[in-house]
Amino acid sequence: MVKELRTIDPTTVPDAAVEFKRQCEYLDQQTNHGALPDIRYAMDPEQVWLSNDVSDVDQFNERYIEPRVEGQITFLMQLATAGVPMSLTTVFVLAPLFGEFHVKGILICIPFFLFASFFLWLGTSIAQCRIRFNRQAQLVHVTYGDAVMHVPWRDVRPYTEFGHDYRLRLYFPVPYLEMMQQPSADPERVRKRKRPFGVEGDFDIYDNLSLDHNLQRLEFIRRYMEHGLDAIQPGREFVEKGLVRKPTGDDKFEWLSGMNNIAVIFNVLFNLLSLKPFLDRWIKHKANSFRWPEEVERLCAPGADLSAYDTRPVKSSTRYFYRYAGMYKGVIFVDHKGRQVHLRSTAE
């Protein structure tokens, strides 16, 4: 049953554009955030590498593209559930071997079961959170609790969030009214947000390896939203070398040689101990059961009525491009002849 939206006094709704500027200034001051180039600048074509298999029409087509990274959720679930088989093995296998088995020992398993149950519930919820980049409407659809927010792609400000890895964050003006109307939201907390409305940009497990990977994924999305599916087809050099792969959240290991095989064996054992086959099936089942609301499907359908939206793609500069020049130099800008120029990261 759909819950009734909360009534909000329009005079209490903040000015999203004004707040967005302030919120981005707040991010600029944070040591764990770094601003990336505006989408009105393209990456230097000589530096772009496109190696993703985009042949799955349910995930990639001329109307929209949609990340599917359930494998990342599975890995986090493995870390949470690993304590269950370990505690059971300790109580029922190792303890009897040393003559120390006691029925009360089963009690030590209970916290691990509770911990795993909580994260199984959490992972199931996350598996049904989705993002869709709608090119024909130039919108990004994002699940927000039981609702879906629709934010214009042209308003995006991309950042990298630094932590134990690198995360591509796409920030938008907060859709205050729509969020404040949600029964599950606290209007006052929404009103006082310090950060913009954030969307994750991952399509693949490798997207968070480095700043360069973040920039490549940003360019992948930007190219698609401006030019369409043809612009993100895998490069010939990757096709010829057999390096094209489906973008996924699944962690896949290949047999190598020497010491690397020890890591592969350890990974296989860890996957079995942490119940990865079961978790994979469960998380993917819940993810596949997700259905976008009728409104989103309508906006993504062929020949949709989009007269209420600005569907013009954001055009990138044909004079200036950006390059990643390494960890110390970061992002630099060049002209069409490859000469370095000094520009602001936000296009005029």
341 falls within a domain: no
84 falls within a domain: yes
**Lowest-pLDDT choice from 245-259, 270-284, 316-330:** 245-259
Q: Is the pLDDT of residue 347 over 70?
A: no
288 falls within a domain: yes
d(C-alpha 274, C-alpha 78), whole Å: 5
- Tens of pLDDT, residue by residue over 157-179, are 999 999 888 999 999 999 999 99
- Residue 110 or 289, more confident: 289
Read off the pTM: 0.85
Mean pLDDT score, 319-334: 91
Output the pLDDT for position 255: 47
Number of domains in the chain: 1
Give φ, ψ of 132 to 5 degrees: -135, 130
Q: Hey, CA dihedral for 227, 228, 232, 234, is it positive or negative? A: negative
Output the pLDDT for position 335: 92
User: Does residue 100 come out as left (phi exceeding 0), alpha (psi in the -120 to 50 range) or beta?
Assistant: alpha
- Residue 27 or 1, more confident: 27
Contact yes or no for 320/343 (Cβ under 8 A): yes
278 falls within a domain: yes
The pLDDT > 70 percentage for the chain reads: 87
15 falls within a domain: no
d(C-alpha 224, C-alpha 310), whole Å: 17
- Residue 82 or 337, more confident: 337
Q: Quick one: pLDDT band at residue 260, thresholds 50, 70, 90?
A: low
260 falls within a domain: yes
313 falls within a domain: no
112 falls within a domain: yes
Contact yes or no for 10/134 (Cβ under 8 A): no
Residue 281 structural domain:
68-128+254-301
Residue 213 is classified by DSSP as: H
